[in-house]
Structure 1
């Protein structure tokens, strides 16, 4: 038990609130052993899983997808660099699409972020009389057009 972390220690080390750790455990994202007094004890390897969960959430990966990814990791051994590389390769397209959208947002809205849209003639989002409604919902001038491959953008949800 000396090499195991209490929920408080895991919280401090990971920067994640104990309530979130309990929630992650309920979802099966992390695992804890129990003491005779029913207190949680976490293996140090759970720190890596919590870090993976947090970073994955930051790039828009759902908890269901995170669980599926973590379920593909070996339980009997610490995940290898190859295991983590496989997971990152699976999400590379999503990250590339998110980067593309963020760069487009930065470049197209550079002149109007925070300005209150002073120029409707130059605004990258201006859609007079909803002319783009037939192309689908959302910001059609920023999101992929129906003729473009919608798969990466759809996976960002």
Structure 2
């Protein structure tokens, strides 16, 4: 069994995830990633932090809120395995398909020529 080590500073996680350091702190604040603090009060993250952020960015593009993403990630172990990420992918795919179907329905309703304020949302 692997032991999770928290050795990566904010700057490394930001670079690996393709985000600004402020985004790393944002995702930590909202429970997407977890850090420990050093004796000098600096954040240190584990290996999965950058991956979690990249997945969260995809989920946000699908339309999920940070709170919804945190709920999906809540079931992930500290050191996720491929099958753990597979379950996250299944959740994101199901949510994306549901939201796509709803959007298509709204488009159909808008094209129907009726009053926009009467579309059920």
* TM-score using structure 2 length: 0.75
**Cα 1:134–1:11 shift into 2, 3 Å:** closer
Partner of 1:4: helix, strand, or coil?
coil
* TM-score using structure 1 length: 0.60
Match for residue 21 of structure 1?
24
Match for residue 89 of structure 2?
88
Structure 1 residue 56 displacement after superposition? 0.9
Structure 1 residue 59 displacement after superposition? 0.8
Query: Who wins on radius of gyration, i.e. which is larger?
Result: 1
Structure 1 residue 133 displacement after superposition? 5.5
Match for residue 40 of structure 1?
43
Structure 1 residue 34 displacement after superposition? 1.5
Higher relative contact order (Cα pairs below 8 Å, separated by 6+ residues): 2
- The structure where helix makes up a greater share of residues is 2
Once residues 100 and 66 of structure 2 are traced to their aligned partners in structure 1, the CA distance between those partners, rounded to angstroms, is 21
Unaligned runs of 5+ in 2: none
Is residue 136 of structure 1 aligned with residue 120 of structure 2?
yes
**Cα 1:64–1:4 shift into 2, 3 Å:** same
Is residue 59 of structure 1 aligned with residue 27 of structure 2?
no
Superposed CA offset, 1:69-112 (max 9, x none):
1111113xx2122212222222333322445546x96xx8xxxx
Match for residue 15 of structure 2?
12
Unaligned runs of 5+ in 1: 109-123, 138-157
Determine if contact 2:9/2:43 at 8 Å carries over to the other structure.
Answer: yes
